[in-house]
């Protein structure tokens, strides 16, 4: 069906997700809808990218609600393969690995995570074929890695970055937010506050990377319900910034009650 559409000159927009759709996912669908003729959404809770079995089991899977949301947002083709369909032999002998970029930040905390992401995204790109593929800046490291991998392997996708969608109080939307109790949710706002602290420090003229990291860390450690994983400032290759100049990303990750949450903000100095 997709190759017929392409032969007829129609463009394909592809939005890969793990389901439990929220407005962040739907913002990608809306962008694809506006820019492409056919919109494909995949839902696959990719077991290869979970380092913790519990996290995989707890991951929400509201399939009927997702189907309705996808149809309402204008998805033409929904692709929700089972693990058996994705991995018919049950064991893959091939892994796609982006050296370096996959080992820091999230990769350091979740060994093998990005190998799982890259292997499955490569497979999805190869199933969908030539397309514009929409990814959220919410997963900044993933976006950086997928762009690198797509260029390195000449995969037939053009990767498009979409801005982070947040709740009115600043919490970045995430499928894992449903696991937050009301108290944890309030504590989770400190991720966003920490990023604002960092951005504000830079806006005020601070050029000391350690000082900015400390400002973010202070905000997060002041919240007793948060277990901080990292708060860092990196350049466009995810290297810890040595100087505050150019395009930088402030990134935070923390466990809040059960789920582990991530968030980020960009600054250009
Ligand atoms: P996931 O289902 O968590 O794997 O996410 C699927 C896609 O949606 C990824 O490209 C994410 O970066 C993107 N996404 C998730 N949450 C948000 C958000 N709050 N704003 C923008 N994009 C998002």
For 121-158, the pLDDT digits (tens) are 999 999 999 999 999 999 999 999 999 999 999 999 99
Sequence-distant (≥ 6) Cβ neighbours of residue 216 within 8 angstroms: 194, 195, 197, 198, 231, 250, 252
Query: Percent of the chain, pLDDT > 90?
Result: 97
What spacing in Å lies between the alpha carbon of 138 and ligand 1's midpoint?
6
pLDDT for 1 equals 84
pLDDT at residue 125 in the model: 98
Average pLDDT over residues 48-60: 93
State how far Cα 127 lies from the chain centre: 21
The predicted pLDDT at position 246 comes to 97
Atom of ligand 1 nearest to the CA of 21: 2
Residue 256 to residue 253: CA distance in whole angstroms: 10
Chain segment 234-263, per-residue pLDDT in tens? 999 999 999 999 999 999 999 999 999 999
Per-residue pLDDT band at 89 (split at 50, 70, 90)? confident
Mean pLDDT in residue range 6-11: 96
Contact 235, 246 (CB under 8 A): yes
22 annotated active-site: no
pLDDT, residue 105, reads 98
- Among the options 22, 25, 113, 196, which is catalytic? 25
Percent of the chain whose predicted confidence (pLDDT) is above 70: 100
Confidence of residue 91 (pLDDT cuts 50, 70, 90): confident
| Residue 8 Cα to ligand 1 middle (Å) | 30
For ligand 1, the distance from its centroid to the CA atom of residue 175, given in whole angstroms, is: 8
Q: Cα Rg for the chain, rounded, in angstroms? A: 19
Among 233, 239, 238, 237, which residue's Cα sits nearest to residue 269?
233
Tens-place pLDDT, residues 192-232: 999 999 999 999 999 999 999 999 999 999 999 999 999 99
In a 13 Å sphere around the CA of 81, the CA atoms on its Cβ side amount to 15
Buried b (16+ CB within 10 A) or exposed e, 154-180: ebebebbebebbeeeeebbbbbbbebb
> Can you give the pLDDT at residue 35?
98
Test site for ligand 1: of 61, 138, 263, most ligand atoms within 8 A of the Cβ: 138
Residue 164's pLDDT band (boundaries 50, 70, 90)? very high
Query: Whose alpha carbon is nearest atom 18 of ligand 1?
Result: 24
How many angstroms does the Cα of residue 91 sit away from the middle of ligand 1? Answer: 27
Average pLDDT, the chain: 97
């Amino acid at each position: 069906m997709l190759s017929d559409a392409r032969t007829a000159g129609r463009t394909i927009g592809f939005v890969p997700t793990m389901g439990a759709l929220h407005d962040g996912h739907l913002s990608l669908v809306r962008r694809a809808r506006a820019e492409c003729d056919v919109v494909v959404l995949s839902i696959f809770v990719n077991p290869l990218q979970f380092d913790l079995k519990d996290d995989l089991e707890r991951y929400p899977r509201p399939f009927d609600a997702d189907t309705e949301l996808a149809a309402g947002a204008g998805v033409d083709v929904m692709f929700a393969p089972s693990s058996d369909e994705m991995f018919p032999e049950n064991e893959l002998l091939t892994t796609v690995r982006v050296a370096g970029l996959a080992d820091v930040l999230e990769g350091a905390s979740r060994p093998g995570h990005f190998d799982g992401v890259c292997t499955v995204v490569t497979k999805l790109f190869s199933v969908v074929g030539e397309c514009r593929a929409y990814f959220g800046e919410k997963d900044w490291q993933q976006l950086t890695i997928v762009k690198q991998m797509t260029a390195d392997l000449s995969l037939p996708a053009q990767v498009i970055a979409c801005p982070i969608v947040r709740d009115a109080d600043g919490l970045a939307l995430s499928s894992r937010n449903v696991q937050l109790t009301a108290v944890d949710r309030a504590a989770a706002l400190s991720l966003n506050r920490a990023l604002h602290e960092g951005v504000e420090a830079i806006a005020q003229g601070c050029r000391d990377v350690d000082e900015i990291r400390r400002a973010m860390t202070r905000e997060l450690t002041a919240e007793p319900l948060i277990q901080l994983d990292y708060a860092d400032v990196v350049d466009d290759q995810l290297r810890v910034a040595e100087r505050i100049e150019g395009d930088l990303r402030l990134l935070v990750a923390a466990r809040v009650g059960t789920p582990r949450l991530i968030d980020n903000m960009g600054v250009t100095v």
